[in-house]
Amino acid sequence: MALLAGCSSSSGGNGNGNGNDNGNSTDTTDSGTTNSAAETLPPYASMLPTTDQSEYFYGAIDVRTMSTLIEDQGAEAGKEPTDPLVGNPVVVALLSSFGLEKLATSAGFNAYNENNETANGEEQFVYADGVYALVGSYDRDGITSDLEAAGYTLETESDGYAVYADSESDEIVGVTETVYAYSYPNAADSSFDPAAAVERTVATAAGDQTPKHEADGDFEQLLRAGKNSGIACCLYTENDAFASGTLSDDQTGTENELQFEFGAFEGAYGVHQNLSVTSSDTATARATVSYSSDELVDKGTLESSLGTEANTATVNRAETTVTVDAEYGGEFARE
């Protein structure tokens, strides 16, 4: 079972009440001290941009896990999970699959593919700030040359990054030596500027702008709450608690029917979830939930709402942080 080190925070909150009866094994403990062991930052932390919005969401999946899910023929036949501890990371996987399909059919795919120098299985896919991004190692000069040959037009360039546009698809592509980012206009949000969002991403990756975790210590703690492999998703607000609209927002900004379920996190300001498929028959999940004060902590709702389909689930509280760890087995681990 993967028990990830928890994190605590002194400000923030998130949540929406949503209780279900869990008949599976659940252990709960309270601790007067906070686990201060800091996990390492994920490799994509340096490309998560600072924005002018108080709410922040990202999802990430490593390519090795994505390949496992794609190759597992039983995954498509499985039932849709109703347990948010699994369901939210699964939505990240679906969103990532959609983003990779967009890449595969883009005019710039060959430029990306032919100049991808990432070691096998080490690449990660990230969705943040309306931008799809692959994080690895890339021949930037090779990509930019091939993008221009494919008809892309240079929009912005600096020592560390370049941003291109494809007039036929309206795709915006940004490139650094460690990130290949792309985005499109959003039919559901006319205010979204894909060129600005992509440039924020690659400028951050190139070190020209401050990444979110360096500007916000509470957000950094959420990043450190989970391990770097598998699937991760993080919802965060700079306010004391999530607004109800944040919890009901699908967070994807796409036309797909992707639905996250963040209702259990009402009253919190941050949640980090991780799902790791450890074998064909076993998966482990963790949610780390941070609240701004003792009065807002709702351990009971987390106990009844998360891990509802797990073989075992453990809920631990350390001051204003609650962690839920669960293990899934059998057919469910492959759904």
Q: What is the pLDDT of residues 161-202, one digit of tens each?
A: 999 999 999 999 999 999 999 999 998 889 999 999 999 999
User: Quick one: pLDDT at residue 126?
Assistant: 97
Burial class for 279, CB neighbours closer than 10 Å (0-12, 13-18, 19+):
exposed
pLDDT, mean of residues 236-257: 74
User: Quick one: pLDDT at residue 2?
Assistant: 22
| DSSP code, position 117 | -
Q: Which amino acid, 259?
A: Q
Q: Which two tokens stand for residue 237?
A: 């607000």
For the chain, the average pLDDT equals: 83
User: Quick one: pLDDT at residue 265?
Assistant: 95
Q: In the chain, what are the domain boundaries?
A: 25-334
CA atoms within 13 A on the CB side of 47: 34
Q: Is the pLDDT of residue 139 over 90?
A: yes
CB 324 within 8 A of CB 290: no
Distance between CA atoms of residues 188 and 207, nearest Å? 31
Instruction: Specify the pTM.
Output: 0.84
User: Quick one: pLDDT at residue 335?
Assistant: 54
User: Quick one: pLDDT at residue 125?
Assistant: 96
pLDDT, mean of residues 123-149: 97
More confident residue, 257 or 158: 158
Non-local (6+) Cβ contacts of 120 within 8 A are none
Distance between CA atoms of residues 316 and 322, nearest Å? 6
CB 287 within 8 A of CB 272: yes
Burial class for 194, CB neighbours closer than 10 Å (0-12, 13-18, 19+):
buried
User: Quick one: pLDDT at residue 333?
Assistant: 53
pLDDT, mean of residues 240-269: 78
| DSSP code, position 219 | H
Residue pLDDT, tens place only, 315-330: 999 999 999 999 998 6
- Comparing CA positions, the residue from 35, 32, 41 lying closest to residue 3 is 35
Residue 170, Ramachandran bin (φ over 0: left; ψ between -120 and 50: alpha; else beta): left
Distance between CA atoms of residues 284 and 276, nearest Å? 5
